[in-house]
A and B are shown apart, each in its own frame.
Chain A
Amino acid sequence: VSGFRQSQSSLHTWAGLIVGWVLFSIFLAGTISYWREDVNRWMRPELGSVESPDRLVTGAMRFLGRTVPDAEAWYIAVPERAASATDVFWQPQPVKGEAPRRGRRRDTQSLVGPDGERVSVRETRGGDFLYRFHFDLHYVPVIWARWFVGFCAMMMLIAIVSGVITHKKIFVDFFTLRRAKGQRSWLDGHNALAVLALPFHLMITYTGLVTLMTLYMPWAAVANYKAPAALFETLAPSAGRVERSGTPAPLVDPVPLLRDATLRWGGAAVGLVQIELPGDAQARITLTAAPSSGVSARRRSLTYSGATGRLIWRSPDTGPGAQTAGVLVGLHAGRYAPDALRWLYFLSGIGGTLMVASGLVLWTVKRREKLPDPQRPHFGFRLVERLNIGFVAGFPLAITGYFWANRLLPVALRSRADAEINALFLTWAAALACAFLLPARKAWVGLLALCGGALALLPLWSPLGPRGLVGAAVEGDLRMIAMNLMLLLIGAAFIAIARKVARYRPKARRSARRPAAASPEPALLEAAE
């Protein structure tokens, strides 16, 4: 049995290490994504007061009817959380002899206010970028990135299961966190973060893989469905395609339909309005339920005739397979979750991020004492140590750089959104360079302190503005007040960690003076390893 446990321990160590840095970044970006809408709003200070969804839909309809009356389809996102504008998308009519253009969404989307005018805000991808990054990465083709992220998630699953097997005293050590004991404390901390939120870690990793299952494991789908469209029709049924009649007909007002849908769904709100062939006699209005309507990511929809407003189709109950996948994906994204639960998701995500980080640091802590010459460690040790600094301290700093770029770049800058993202990666590259060039302790302390200071100063930038510490408080904008306080709090936490690292004196010298105190430890450690 001990041989088995030993093999699991090695598996845990190495499966965790090789993907640990990427996992840390994925966990952190994914965790922030639980507040995506709020980060979006925080990064667009131009957005004004909160508006009712009905007024936003009316404004969006006026905008679309004026600018793209002949589009193939219109899409209006109905915001659920505090919003002062709404995202609209449209699909232009296909041009004969030209393949439909894909991936150029920026030309066919707009942010529209209740007055039906395009809202002029600074160009930014806001929290959406962090959300995309956590499975699409950046600068690499999306499919490669997703395969790579999937591989990392699979290794994470292996690391979790082998970690549970390795940790033989899960229940005895359940509440154990021995402080100021060097390696013992790191191990306790890593175990505590892992065990306390173990169901969350398992769920988030497994369901993360499920979100992209048709990419990773297409065989079942390929064997059963000839065309990809047939599969998607099974997973997300729709009322089917309509042909343009050519007879113009005025479109009914969709706002009363929103109420009708909510009534039919027993109170669930509408999250998306989709209008096919607007202005044609065959027009259709499809309403899809909002994320808060249920755990499952596959949501109910109703289709109405655009000319008469009569209900013509309702989505059937999907099969148990599609339903299970929908619930698993929904659990992962947490979009259904009301704020209280969203906070717990966020905390669990931070726990997962810290678990990965502590595992990475633990690798070096464990090996440092065994080094033949601690002053000149071997290449592998140095590489891991430096990458740890560059990711664990460097990626949070890079995100902070992204937030600062959002505040500092001129509003009128060309391709400003890309410039913000480049700022993120430039900051990260600089952090990695510091990690490899400076002595380890200096790099840790410097990067952590810089990150903490820069985070804490963000709410103080233009403090009287709508997103500033004072401005948001005066307006009583609770969500932005919370965002500012979190930035201050997390900044303070980074500074506290930097202070701890700066004050830390390596244990090797102390334990050399007091060999008696250290003697019972190694046996414990070997057993727990």
Chain B
Amino acid sequence: MTLLAFLFALLGFVLLALAMDRHARDLIGRPPSHSRRRRMRAGAILALAACYGLTITGWGVVLGSILAYALMSLAAAVVLLAVSHRTVRRSGKG
């Protein structure tokens, strides 16, 4: 349950990063269109909500809320490191 919640948090932050011009260019080569960006942000919010929903079902409201925040922090850090790593590799090749 916790692992699944973490994967949802990761998905949420990946979508948020891809919805941003700079990272989308670095990661997939082009910035997202306006509507696509909106869809990705909506998806990100759903994914983060799913993460929160899963943690509170598994751990109760009190512990689940704390855990959800901590998992989201960790997921954001992982996405940041991955984005940074990919960017270095791509710019190294190009």
The chain A residues found within 8 Å of chain B, CB to CB, are: 172, 174-180, 192, 196-197, 199-200, 294-295, 331, 336-338, 340-341, 344-345, 347-348, 351
Contact = CB atoms under 8 A, between A and B. Distances in A.
A192 B84 CA distance: 11
A279 B36 CA distance: 76
B12 to A, nearest CB: 12
Given A196-B77, A340-B2, A177 B84 contact: yes
A348 B77 CA distance: 11
Contacts of B66: 295, 331, 337, 341
A192 B83 CA distance: 13
B80 A341 contact: no
A200 to B, nearest CB: 7
Given A175-B17, A175-B79, A196-B76, A341 B70 contact: yes
B68 to A, nearest CB: 11
Contacts of A192: 77, 80
11 contacts: A174-B20, A175-B17, A175-B79, A178-B87, A179-B84, A196-B80, A331-B66, A337-B63, A347-B74, A348-B70, A348-B73
The 5 closest A-B pairs by CB, nearest first: A344-B70, A177-B84, A175-B17, A175-B80, A175-B83
Contacts of A179: 84, 87-88
B76 A180 contact: no
Contacts, number: 67
Contact of A344 (B74, B83, B84, B88): B74
B63 A196 contact: no
A344 B23 contact: no
Interface of B: 2, 13, 16-17, 20, 22-23, 62-63, 66-67, 69-71, 73-74, 76-77, 79-81, 83-84, 87-88
A344 B20 contact: no
A174 B18 CA distance: 12
A331 B76 CA distance: 22
Contacts of A174: 16-17, 20, 76, 80
Contact of B88 (A180, A199, A337): A180
Candidate in B13, B20, B77 with the most chain A CB atoms within 10 angstroms: B77
Contact of B83 (A177, A197, A338, A341): A177
Contact of A340 (B16, B67, B76): B67
Given A199-B69, A344-B70, A178 B84 contact: yes
Given A340-B67, A341-B66, A200 B83 contact: no
A340 B17 CA distance: 26
Interface centre among A172, A176, A192, A199 (most CB of B within 10 A): A176
B61 to A, nearest CB: 11
B80 A177 contact: yes
B67 A175 contact: no
Given A175-B76, A341-B63, A344-B74, 18 more contacts: A174-B17, A174-B76, A175-B16, A175-B17, A175-B79, A175-B80, A177-B80, A178-B84, A178-B87, A179-B88, A180-B88, A295-B63, A331-B66, A336-B63, A337-B63, A341-B67, A341-B70, A345-B70
Contacts of A337: 63, 66
Nearest to B3: A340
B20 A175 contact: yes
Given A175-B20, A177-B81, A340-B2, A200 B73 contact: yes
Contacts of B84: 175-179
B32 to A, nearest CB: 15
Nearest to B23: A175
A383 B69 CA distance: 39
A337 B70 CA distance: 12
A197 B73 contact: yes
Contacts of B23: 175
A179 B74 CA distance: 20
Interface centre among B22, B73, B79, B83 (most CB of A within 10 A): B73
Contacts of B77: 192, 196-197, 351
Contacts of A177: 80-81, 83-84
B70 A176 contact: no
A9 B88 CA distance: 30
Contacts of B17: 174-175
